[in-house]
Amino acid sequence: MLDSTIMKNTLTPVSVVTGGAGFLGSHLVDILLARGHRVIVIDNLVTGSTDNIAHLAGNQKFTFIRQDVTEFLFIAGPVDYVWHFASPASPIDYLELPIQTLKVGSLGTHKALGLAKEKGARFLITSTSEVYGDPLVHPQTESYWGNVNPIGPRGCYDESKRFAEALVMAYHHEHKLDTRIVRIFNTYGPRMRIKDGRVVPAFVSQALLGQPITIFGDGQQTRSFCFCSDLLEGIYRLMMLEHPTQHLPVNIGNPQELTMVQFAQEIIQATGSSSTLTYQPLPQDDPKQRRPDITRARTLLGWEPVVPLSEGLKSTIAYFKTKLGV
């Protein structure tokens, strides 16, 4: 049974989404609106874009506030859910914005938690598989503490998320805040930025332009790719979950593991490209393996990914074609 805090706006629940103009945040906004929520987006547009939410202009249930989440958050009226999605999330972003990345993970999470505490709202933070670092355990389970280099080039992102998880747990224990932590593994889909440094936009754009596809290292490092609609369904279920362990981290991702060479070949086939592969040195601290153990998500949420890679790539490639004009 839902507690009284969540029941207070049963007819029209109110959701605040930080980072709601970003890739995943904007897709979440669409889902929430479709499911009857009134949605307030807070985004400073450092990595987000109004293009991702332009189709919502004039929607009476949608409000956009351009603001840095590290500043005090004031929202008039009731709030039922706070979805904290704000953060640079790609290597090129957090390597160029290391201090901002650390601030949004620490100060931004603190402000978002403060809003949830003030409103008596349920809170969810999007953490990351990067909390596992370059893992020594494979696949990665939620009980694994990780192998992270705090002073390496990726430390600003990895440690900001690890700190954010600790802060969320502190609010849960000290203030009895109703919280959720989701650890997101590699996700792809429309609205990704072409030059955000992640493998999907990099490979797809290179293939569509007929350029060599850049492989770092020997290409045998692995990733698992989850389509955005699958990921967000899992996140939505976690937010709505009523369970004694609902505050503990949950991996959401696709356990199908591919090497970077295999993934590049999938992209070449899907785009019909004649691109070849080119190799460059592996960046420092780049994880060698990445695959989620989703036993907890299957058990608690009844969730697992359903969109095949071939299907997800079709819509993703179609999106990038419009952006590249090819």
Tell me the CATH number at 67.
Answer: 3.40.50.720
As given in the structure block, the two tokens for residue 37 are 């929520």
Please tell me the total count of domains within the chain. 1
- Distance (Å, whole) CA 266 – CA 258: 10
Domain presence at residue 209: no
- What average pLDDT does the segment 208-228 reach? 94
Q: Which residues contact 291 (CB under 8 A, 6 or more apart)?
A: 138, 139, 140, 185, 222, 224, 253, 255, 257
Closest CA to 124 of 132, 116, 114, 136: 116
Whole-number pLDDT of residue 263:
95
Beta strands 14-18 and 81-84, pairing class: parallel
Whole-number pLDDT of residue 322:
96
Q: Which of 81, 94, 132, 157 is catalytic?
A: 157
Domain presence at residue 64: yes
Beta strands 257-259 and 222-224, pairing class: antiparallel
Whole-number pLDDT of residue 94:
87
Domain presence at residue 76: yes
Going 98 to 110 to 190 to 219, the CA torsion angle's sign is: positive
| Residues 17-53 pLDDT 10s | 999 999 999 999 999 999 999 999 999 999 999 999 9
Q: What 3-state class would DSSP assign to 272?
A: coil
Strand partners, 106: none
- If pLDDT is split at 50, 70 and 90, which confidence band does 8 have? very low
Domain presence at residue 65: yes
The answer to whether residue 72 scores a pLDDT higher than 50 is yes
- If pLDDT is split at 50, 70 and 90, which confidence band does 7 have? very low
The answer to whether residue 56 scores a pLDDT higher than 80 is yes
Whole-number pLDDT of residue 12:
94
- Distance (Å, whole) CA 306 – CA 161: 27
Q: Which residues contact 29 (CB under 8 A, 6 or more apart)?
A: 17, 20, 39, 41, 53, 56, 62
Q: Is 279 a catalytic residue?
A: no
| Residues 251-304 pLDDT 10s | 999 999 999 999 999 999 999 999 999 999 988 877 888 899 999 999 999 999
The answer to whether residue 74 scores a pLDDT higher than 80 is yes
Please state whether the peptide bond connecting residue 91 to the residue before it is cis, i.e. omega within 30 degrees of 0.
Answer: no
Domain presence at residue 218: no
Whole-number pLDDT of residue 10:
54
- If pLDDT is split at 50, 70 and 90, which confidence band does 315 have? very high
Within a 10 A sphere around the Cβ of 52, how many other Cβ atoms?
A: 24
Percent helix, percent strand, percent coil in the chain, to nearest 5: 40, 20, 40
- If pLDDT is split at 50, 70 and 90, which confidence band does 208 have? very high
CA 128 to chain centre: 7
> What is the share, in percent, of the chain residues with pLDDT greater than 90?
90
Q: Do the beta carbons of residue 244 and residue 283 sit within 8 Å? A: no
- Distance (Å, whole) CA 50 – CA 20: 10
| Residues 82-121 pLDDT 10s | 999 999 988 889 889 999 999 999 999 999 999 999 999 9
As given in the structure block, the two tokens for residue 159 are 């440690």
Domain presence at residue 220: no
Domain presence at residue 197: no
Domain presence at residue 264: no
The answer to whether residue 123 scores a pLDDT higher than 80 is yes
- What average pLDDT does the segment 175-203 reach? 95
CA 67 to chain centre: 20
- What average pLDDT does the segment 178-184 reach? 98
- What average pLDDT does the segment 57-81 reach? 97
Residue ranges making up the domain that contains 166: 4-191+226-255+291-307
- Distance (Å, whole) CA 186 – CA 84: 18
